[in-house]
């Protein structure tokens, strides 16, 4: 019996430590990340993804703890990085950094076309808005731009608000696993 108990205790303690410090899971509540991640999907995050000198990258899908919304956690995609400038002009998002003087319109292949056939990158905003990111700030958007409450509403997010990077999403109704 003792031969079984010791490995069982090690396995249980390892699982608890892994859950507390490395991996976490969440159930997706809304449509803001559709079509990439759908409501009811389970996402798993790596809590250590941005520790030990690793920085979030453009395109990463992250789970955030934010007091700005009614939800406890939100899931979004990182679009702009620290020290970049975001220009939203008539609904088109442009990112300027030190390498690109005019800014570039972000092209994201994971976005679907909206019902009217326009690129889902278009946002409902009219006019022009400038946002300058501080050294620890990121600009996040949901893939479903038309309904997402993201940095266009909440403003930039700080690195400390990021709980972790999504590395897998499970769709149990379609038995589909998506790796990120």
Catalytic option among 76, 148, 151, 163: 76
98 is catalytic: no
**Helices of type H across the chain:** 2-21, 151-154
180, 41 contact by CB (below 8 A): no
76 is catalytic: yes
Q: Is 9 exposed, middle or buried (0-12, 13-18, 19+ CB in 10 A)?
A: exposed
Catalytic option among 32, 36, 148, 151: 32
Question: What is the spatial distance between Cα 56 and Cα 75, in angstroms, rounded to a whole number?
Answer: 14
Q: State the catalytic residues.
A: 32, 76
């Amino acid at each position: 019996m003792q031969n079984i108990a010791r490995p069982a205790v090690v396995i249980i303690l390892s699982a608890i430590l892994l859950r507390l410090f490395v991996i976490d899971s969440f159930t997706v509540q809304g449509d803001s990340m559709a079509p990439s991640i759908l409501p009811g999907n389970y996402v798993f995050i790596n809590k250590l993804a941005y520790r030990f000198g690793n920085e979030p990258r453009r395109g990463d899908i992250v789970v955030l703890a934010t007091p700005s919304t009614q939800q406890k956690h939100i899931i979004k995609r990182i679009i702009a990085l620290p020290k970049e400038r975001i220009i939203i002009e008539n609904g088109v998002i442009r990112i300027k950094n030190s390498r690109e003087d005019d800014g570039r319109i972000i092209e994201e292949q994971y976005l679907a076309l909206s019902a009217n056939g326009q690129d889902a990158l278009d946002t409902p905003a009219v006019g022009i808005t400038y946002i300058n990111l501080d050294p620890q700030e990121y600009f996040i958007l949901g893939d479903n731009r038309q309904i997402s409450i993201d940095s266009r509403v909440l403003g930039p997010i700080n690195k400390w608000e990021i709980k972790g990077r999504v590395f897998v999403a499970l769709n149990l109704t379609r038995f589909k696993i998506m790796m990120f």
